[in-house]
Amino acid sequence: MTALTMVEAIALALSRAMESDNSVVLLGEDIGINGGVFRATNGLLEKFGEQRVIDSPLAETMIAGLAVGMSAQGMKPVIEAQFMGFIYPMVEQIICHASRMRHRTRGRLSCPMVLRAPFGGGIHAPEHHSESTEAIFAHMPGVRVVIPSSPTRAYGLLLAAIRDPDPVIFLEPKRIYRLNREEVKDNGEDLPLDVCFVLRDGSDITLVTWGSMIKETLEAADKLAQQGISAEVIDVATISPLDMETIVESVQKTGRCVIIHEAPRMCGVGAEIAAGLADTAIFHLHAPIKRVTGYDSVMPLYRMEKQYMPCVKRILGAVMEVMEVS
Catalytic center residues: 129
Q: Is 146 left (phi over 0), alpha (psi -120 to 50) or beta?
A: beta
Q: How far is CA 118 from the centre of its chain?
A: 9
Side-chain half-sphere exposure of 285, counting CA atoms within 13 A: 18
Query: 269-280 and 244-254 are packed helices; what angle lies between their axes, rounded to 10 degrees?
Result: 60
Residues 153/197, Cβ–Cβ less than 8 Å? yes
- Give the separation between CA 29 and CA 60, rounded to whole angstroms: 9
What is the spatial distance between Cα 117 and Cα 79, in angstroms, rounded to a whole number?
A: 9
Length of the chain: 326
**Dist. CA 270–CA 134, nearest whole Å:** 11
Of 323, 265, 256, nearest to 293 (Cα)? 265
Side chain identity, residue 137: F
Distance CA 282, CA 10 (A): 39
Across the beta sheet with 197-200, the strand order is 197-200, 231-235, 205-209, 257-264, 290-294
Using alpha carbons only, how large is the chain's radius of gyration in Å? 20
